[in-house]
Amino acid sequence: MSVQGVFNTTGLKQTADLTKLSFASMITRLMPNGTAPLFALTSYLPSETAVQPEHGYFAKSALFPYVVLNGAIDAVVTSWTVDSTESIVPGMILRVSNTTAENVLVEAVISDTVIQVRRAFGGTAAAAADNIVAYMVGNAYEEASIRPIPLNITPRRITNLTQIFRNSWAISDTVRATQVIAGDTTEAESRQDCAAMHAQSVEAALFFGKKYSGVRNGQPIRSMDGLVSTISDLNNYPSSYTVPNVWTAGATTNFTQLEGFLDPVFNQTTDPKVANERVLFVGGRARSVLNNIGRLNSTYYMENGETSFGLQFATFKTSRGTFRMVEHPLFNSNPAWSATAVAVDLSSIRLAYLNGRQTQNKEFNSDGKVAQDFGVDAVGGTLTTECTLLVKNPPANAIITNLTAAAAG
């Protein structure tokens, strides 16, 4: 139970009768394994400094040119109508997804939707095609050719907003002077509680925050997009993506379906050294389903482990990569979240702190901190952090919801 305001002797008496004499010497803290595991992990990652409340980055994606045929063509026609010629230049070779896997050479770009091609290039066989895709498989130019038309990759601007997190603690000087027989001093306990709640506040926003800018009490107020919002927004993806990496499981999920949900995260690489590794944060229900999928599939196994700072995880592998699964207590606080799994590429995320606004601790009436009493017979303090989350490679992450039951297959 949490109580607003200054902690006084009334609360002391109501707190499990701390004045009784037959109790263990420490208060049992019912804290799940790692109440803020993602926030903890970010301390091992590089951070950034924001110089404005709106902070972001520019991103470029690898260009894989292709065209989509608009309608049917026979095996002879050389003037093709396509959906767009935006990334096509003369000299490109396109592989047509028709029955013969025909290669064609782009001779000219006539308009925004028409290209002129040389059919059956390189000894391939021409064939009819209808509303299919032709992908670039290189380019070829004649001797003494003129300089090719340049292609430029336009960077995308992606931003987030810094969010101010604040948590306070306070106890009356009477409580401060009262001797207790369980736990640390009431002052130390209050500090620990405040720090835990502060970390949990940041942690919740890292997952479930939504970007907002407005006014409260006549002053600006902002909140940031968390992982779920960022991964769910197709605007954060390269133009080649038609849907974000957000999947809803059916009544049952088998191993083949699980791979289908998770494997797309390996299509994009942030750090080549960990290209095939992800952390999978799960709720209790999701973890149970994934464990049961493992029992029903002989090629899928779990191996328990622990980080150097005590974060427990289970490792499982798919055909394309390794996932370190961490059961997240925040997900278990909500029945809907308990069936959720969020795959995170740690190398793609950064916390950006507004300049000078990394977690600050300001106390009043505390020995050695501030001399004045501020007119109150109490001691206390406030933790303040202003930061935002950057997800620099959203397609390297994924969300699965509604993990309900496991199935073989």
Residue whose pair of structure tokens reads 């997190």 in the numeric block = 165
- Angle 373-379-383 from CA coordinates, rounded to 5°: 110
For residue 252, count CB atoms less than 10 angstroms from its CB and return exposed for 0-12, middle for 13-18, buried for 19 or more: middle
Residue 299 is predicted with a pLDDT of 62
The one-letter code for the residue type at 359 is T
Residue 18 is predicted with a pLDDT of 47
Distance CA(69)–CA(184), nearest Å, equals 72
Residue 89: both structure tokens together: 């230049």
Distance CA(103)–CA(295), nearest Å, equals 46
Bridge partner residues of 406 (DSSP): 253
Distance CA(256)–CA(253), nearest Å, equals 8
Residue 372 is predicted with a pLDDT of 56
Residue 134: both structure tokens together: 């032709």
Residue 368 is predicted with a pLDDT of 55
For 51, list phi and psi in degrees, rounded to 5: -110, -5
Residue 373 is predicted with a pLDDT of 59
Closest CA to 301 of 323, 334, 273: 323
Residue 229 is predicted with a pLDDT of 97
Distance CA(236)–CA(222), nearest Å, equals 20
Residue 115 is predicted with a pLDDT of 96
Closest CA to 115 of 153, 154, 83: 83
Distance CA(283)–CA(169), nearest Å, equals 30
Q: Kindly give, in sequence order, each residue whose CB lies less than 8 Å from that of residue 283, ignoring residues fewer than 6 positions away.
A: 327, 328, 331, 332, 337, 338, 339, 340, 341
Residue 311 is predicted with a pLDDT of 62
Bridge partner residues of 401 (DSSP): 248
Residue 205 has a CB neighbour count (10 Å cut-off) of 21
Residue 13 is predicted with a pLDDT of 52
For residue 304, count CB atoms less than 10 angstroms from its CB and return exposed for 0-12, middle for 13-18, buried for 19 or more: exposed
- Angle 40-27-188 from CA coordinates, rounded to 5°: 65
Distance CA(370)–CA(364), nearest Å, equals 6
Closest CA to 395 of 243, 256, 282, 277: 243
Return the CATH class of domain 66-139: mainly beta
Bridge partner residues of 160 (DSSP): 55
Distance CA(263)–CA(397), nearest Å, equals 10
Please compute Rg for the chain using Cα positions.
29
DSSP states of 66-108 as a string? Answer: EEEB-SEE-SS--EEEBS--TT--TTEEEEE-STT--EEEEEE
Residue-by-residue pLDDT tens, the chain, 409 positions: 666 766 665 665 555 444 444 444 444 444 444 678 888 888 888 889 999 999 998 888 777 899 999 988 999 999 999 999 989 999 999 999 877 899 999 999 999 999 999 999 998 999 998 888 999 999 999 999 999 999 888 888 899 999 999 999 888 888 887 766 655 677 888 888 898 899 999 999 999 999 999 999 999 999 999 999 999 999 998 877 889 999 999 999 999 999 999 999 999 888 888 889 999 999 999 999 998 988 887 766 667 766 544 566 788 888 899 999 999 999 999 988 999 999 999 999 999 999 999 998 888 877 655 545 567 788 888 999 999 999 999 999 999 999 999 998 7
